[in-house]
A and B are shown apart, each in its own frame.
Chain A
Amino acid sequence: MSLQELWLLLPVLIICVGVLTLMLQAAWQRNNVLAQGLTVLTLTLALGALIRQYPTDMRTITLLFEHEPIGGFFSLLLLMVAISVALLQGPYMGKNSKEVAEEFYILLLLSCLGSILLVMSRHVASVILSIELMSLSMLAMLAYNRERKLALEGAMKYLLLSGAATSLLLLGFALLYATSGQLLLTQMLSSPMQLVAKSGFVLVVAGLAFKLSLVPLHFWTPDVYQGAPVNSTLLLTSLSKAAVFALFIKLILLIPPEFEADMVRMLSWMAIASMLLGNWLALQQRSLKRLMAYSAIAHMGYVLVAGVIAMGIDHSLVLEGASYYLLAYLVASILIFAVLTLLSKLDEQQDLDDLPQLQGLFWQHPWLASVMTLAFLSLAGMPITIGFIGKFYLLTLAVKLSAWWLVTAMLVGSAVGLYYYLRVIFTLFAPLQRDIQQTSGAYLSKMWIGVITAGLLLLGILPGLLGDELRRILAIG
């Protein structure tokens, strides 16, 4: 490994150093404010390093990793998510929590490290290690409050099912390796595919679809979301989805042409089923976390549409659309869960989660309620928010490909989605029933929420601001 390659790995190395520092700090003197500060500092430095040497073309770093623009963009998103979670954890945990504080930040950094490595990986070994680093540290965060039985239940379900899904992924890679004799992703998929290799690829897709909670493999999502502490749910719904999707789209673009038609058919059905089922099941939910889980299933269906289209027409525009949509989804998810986090406490048995509990939030905490309203409008794809532009991108692409089934499912799904998103918004503005406690102070977290909300509006009103840049950032076209 040359010095140049090490230099390209700088963001990753910074996070590694951050993890070690936090471990030493926890051994030396426990102090949760210091731990939070160190985490935010590490992530900001990593963000700075990433922007400083943002990739303009593809460079390989040893056999295992690569440094390329699309991965770079996804890493930016991942760091943004990790910073939000780190900033929100302080107020969520409070000053004198029963749980230990430092380990959460260590796990957060490890999980972020895993996701960034996953985005960069080009070899089966690095994919396996990084995807497990990401999901195992996330698993520990899902059961972070040891007193909550529901968190335990969710984590247990996630552990057992994700173990099974990982074995599917590994089996798929093993079959691909057996037929091609290569472990590099590009070489593995470039050799002609027989039946065994094709089934191997389907198994890999299934393993990844589990992490993305696409429809045939979505059963774990609502339970795990509802059980977990709300800040960990935020991480689960954004970090792991974004990182796994980056790998997913990388693999999809590598499919040999003779296998393309079959994959398009399979993924189209998965996308249609996710969009319809996710939105339909979300209709009857009272729990906000469950509602977000089903809405995540639906949104992953929308993003998968981009993947399907990517195989049909030219890649550049689709990557742009998918990145934009994912950005919109992440921003809205961060905002919704951030508001819930500020209204909940880790030490309590339950988070603020039930929809009637949120009734009249606007009359007591107008700012938080407005942020949440904007985020839900963005998820619903209303104009002047970033979600509208994201959906517009995808719809345009789907129409261009004349994928009418996909277009129909998207429109039906969005219409149904609008109904339950509006239901939440109406609840926020209904007459106040009971007192809702908000975490006082936490100005830094609130400022961060404000910045993200401003981004949501700004990119919704002036889409050209990022739209034109995005081509350059992703170095396409």
Chain B
Amino acid sequence: MTVPIEHGFVLVALLWAIGLIGLLARKNTLFMLMSMEIMLNAAALAFILAGSLWQQADGQIIYILIITVAAAEVGLGLALLIRLRAHVSDLNIDKLDELRG
């Protein structure tokens, strides 16, 4: 029995929404980075689904590219996280609230 493609896209939407809610609701920067990663991976999953819909390998290639890009993004994010900890010895994003006006 094959899974209908629509179910896959519902999963994509759910994952993306989970990521977004995490990004908006969490205060811990590490978890915000993880939520961002979930959002990117939801989009990557959508490419795999689309690839399988058209029976092409292209979707999976794009998936690999997105994973690479997301890894670079998180690498930078973790570097910033270390600086955040050095500055405020905390991972709470609310400590960064000096820019306003």
Contacts and interface: CB of A to CB of B under 8 A. Distances in A.
Contacts of B101: 222, 226, 285-287, 290
B73 A163 contact: yes
B62 interface: yes
A140 B42 contact: no
Contact of A174 (B47, B56, B83, B84): B47
Interface in B22-64: 23, 29, 32-33, 36-37, 39-40, 42-44, 46-47, 49-51, 53-54, 56, 58-59, 61-62
Nearest to B38: A167
A183 B20 CA distance: 26
A471 B88 CA distance: 54
A163 B93 contact: no
A285 B101 CA distance: 7
A170 B73 contact: no
B36 A164 contact: yes
Interface residues of B, number: 47
Contact of B83 (A136, A146, A227): A146
Interface string A153-196: 11111011001101100110111011001010000000000000
A156 B42 contact: no
Contacts of B58: 177, 183
Contact of B65 (A125, A149, A287): A125
State the majority secondary structure of interface residues on A: helix
Given A153-B99, A163-B39, A287-B101, A125 B80 contact: no
Contacts of B1: none
A290 B44 CA distance: 35
Interface string A118-149: 00000011001100100010011001001001
Given A152-B80, A156-B80, A156-B84, A170 B66 contact: yes
B36 A143 contact: no
Contacts of B54: 177, 181
Contact of A128 (B9, B36, B66): B66
Nearest to B62: A125
A227 B98 CA distance: 9
Interface in A271-289: 285-287
A175 B96 contact: no
Contact of A164 (B23, B87, B93, B99): B23
A136 B76 contact: yes
Contacts of B80: 143, 152, 155-156, 159
Given A164-B20, A166-B40, A178 B49 contact: yes
B47 A177 contact: yes
A224 B77 CA distance: 15
A188 B85 CA distance: 45
B43 A167 contact: yes
B69 interface: yes
A153 B73 contact: no
Contacts of A175: 46, 50
B72 A136 contact: yes
Contacts of A157: 96, 99
A334 interface: no
Nearest to B41: A167
A260 interface: no
Contacts of B51: 177
B73 A174 contact: no
A214 interface: no
Nearest to A166: B40
A468 B36 CA distance: 47
Pairs A-B, 6 closest by C-beta atoms: A170-B43, A174-B46, A178-B50, A167-B39, A163-B36, A153-B96
Interface of A: 124-125, 128-129, 132, 136, 139-140, 143, 146, 149-150, 152-157, 159-160, 163-164, 166-167, 170-171, 173-175, 177-178, 181, 183, 222-223, 226-227, 285-287, 290
Given A125-B65, A181-B50, A183-B58, 14 more contacts: A143-B80, A152-B96, A156-B80, A156-B96, A157-B99, A160-B23, A163-B37, A167-B19, A171-B42, A177-B58, A177-B59, A177-B62, A181-B54, A223-B100
12 contacts: A132-B69, A153-B97, A154-B99, A155-B80, A160-B23, A163-B37, A163-B40, A167-B19, A167-B39, A177-B59, A181-B50, A181-B54
Interface of B: 9, 12, 16, 19-20, 23, 29, 32-33, 36-37, 39-40, 42-44, 46-47, 49-51, 53-54, 56, 58-59, 61-62, 65-66, 69, 72-73, 76-77, 80, 83-84, 87-88, 93, 96-101
